[in-house]
Amino acid sequence: MTSKDIKNMEINTEKFPVVQYNDSGKNGIQKTVAREFLLTIFLNGQELVTIMCSPKDLKYLAVGFLVSEGLLQNLESINKIEVDEFAGVVRVETKEAPDPDSRFFAKRLITSGCGGGATFYSAADIAAAKIESKMTISAEDVLALAREFQHHSELYLSTHGVHSAAICDGKKILVFNEDIGRHNAIDKIFGKCLLEQIPTDNRAVISSGRVSSEIMHKVAKRNIPIVISISSPTSLGVRIADDFGITLIASVSGKKFDVYSNAWRID
Strand order across the 204-207 sheet: 173-179, 163-168, 204-207, 226-229, 247-253, 256-261
CA–CA dist 132, 17 (Å, integer): 53
Measured at the alpha carbon of residue 60, what is the angle toward residues 46 and 32, in degrees to the nearest 5? 110
Q: Are 16 and 30 in contact (CB under 8 A)?
A: yes
Q: Are 218 and 192 in contact (CB under 8 A)?
A: no
Q: Are 231 and 204 in contact (CB under 8 A)?
A: no
Q: Which positions are annotated as active-site residues?
A: 114
